[in-house]
Amino acid sequence: MARKPIGESNGGSAEDGPAPVLDLEARLTEDHHQSLVLWLRMLSCTVRVESEIRSRLRADFGITLPRFDLMAQLERHPEGLRMGELSQRMMVTGGNVTGITDQLEEEKLVVREPAPEDRRAFVVRLTPSGRKAFAKMAAVHEQWIVELFSTLPAASKDTLIELLSQLKQGLNDQLPNERRSKG
């Protein structure tokens, strides 16, 4: 007997429901370990949400997700952040942060200044126009997230948050310090 892929119906008729979405889970079968199925299900959802947010940010605001993310970090730190701190928080290379900062600086959304305690380092802050632009984008972004998660009742969201918190804590407990996620 052939191994049935996860999420596929038996007969493929209209009565079986909608056709399966071909994504990261498409290669799984019922024989795969439950943990692998869970991992790919979480990853598939994350990729689909992130792809939609990327598309909407580009269409509605002409901005990329990395630029939005950098501005979000700076919004949380009005005093500014060093380039190295931005790199760590965003989990990207210093070169990536430099490129993103250059673009945002060109648009006068951020300003880069020498760090007061170390003139070799730079601190990046949102400009007043950057703060205003980000506030507008963040409000719309939040509504998009609410919309994308609207199919889940509040109690299910609470349960997922709790379960993912348990998973995150378990990962933090089992992974060596140097490999732990900062998220």
Please list the pLDDT of the chain residue by residue as tens digits (183 residues).
344 445 543 344 445 556 555 556 666 666 767 888 888 889 999 999 999 999 999 999 999 999 999 999 999 999 999 999 999 999 998 899 999 999 999 999 999 999 888 878 899 999 999 999 999 999 999 999 999 999 999 999 999 999 999 999 999 999 876 555 555
| 83 and 134 both lie in a single domain | yes
Contact 141, 68 (CB under 8 A): yes
Q: What is the pLDDT, as a whole number, of residue 12?
A: 44
Q: What is the pLDDT, as a whole number, of residue 21?
A: 54
**Is 6 a domain residue?**
no
Contact 4, 16 (CB under 8 A): no
**Is 163 a domain residue?**
no
Q: What is the pLDDT, as a whole number, of residue 119?
A: 79
Q: What is the pLDDT, as a whole number, of residue 120?
A: 84
| 34 and 75 both lie in a single domain | no
| 86 and 127 both lie in a single domain | yes
- The CA distance from 95 to 98, in Å, is 5
| 51 and 119 both lie in a single domain | no
* 156 dihedral zone (left: phi>0; alpha: psi -120 to 50; beta): alpha
Domain boundary among 40, 62, 84: 62
DSSP conformation letters of 127-180 = -HHHHHHHHHHHHHHHHHHHHHTTTS-HHHHHHHHHHHHHHHHHHHHHS-GGG-
| 134 and 101 both lie in a single domain | yes
Q: What is the pLDDT, as a whole number, of residue 101?
A: 96
CATH number at residue 91: 1.10.10.10
The dihedral sign for the CA sequence 32, 25, 156, 141: positive
Q: What is the pLDDT, as a whole number, of residue 178?
A: 54
| 90 and 128 both lie in a single domain | yes
| 58 and 76 both lie in a single domain | no
**Is 175 a domain residue?**
no
| 47 and 74 both lie in a single domain | no
Q: What is the pLDDT, as a whole number, of residue 4?
A: 45
In the chain, the number of structural domains is 2
Q: What pTM was computed for the model?
A: 0.77
Contact 109, 71 (CB under 8 A): yes
Quote the domain boundaries for residue 111. 63-140
| 55 and 96 both lie in a single domain | no
Q: What is the pLDDT, as a whole number, of residue 176?
A: 76
Domain boundary among 122, 140, 158: 140
Q: Which of 115, 143, 169 is nearest to 52 (CA)?
A: 143
Element (H, E) at 118: strand 118-126
**Is 37 a domain residue?**
yes
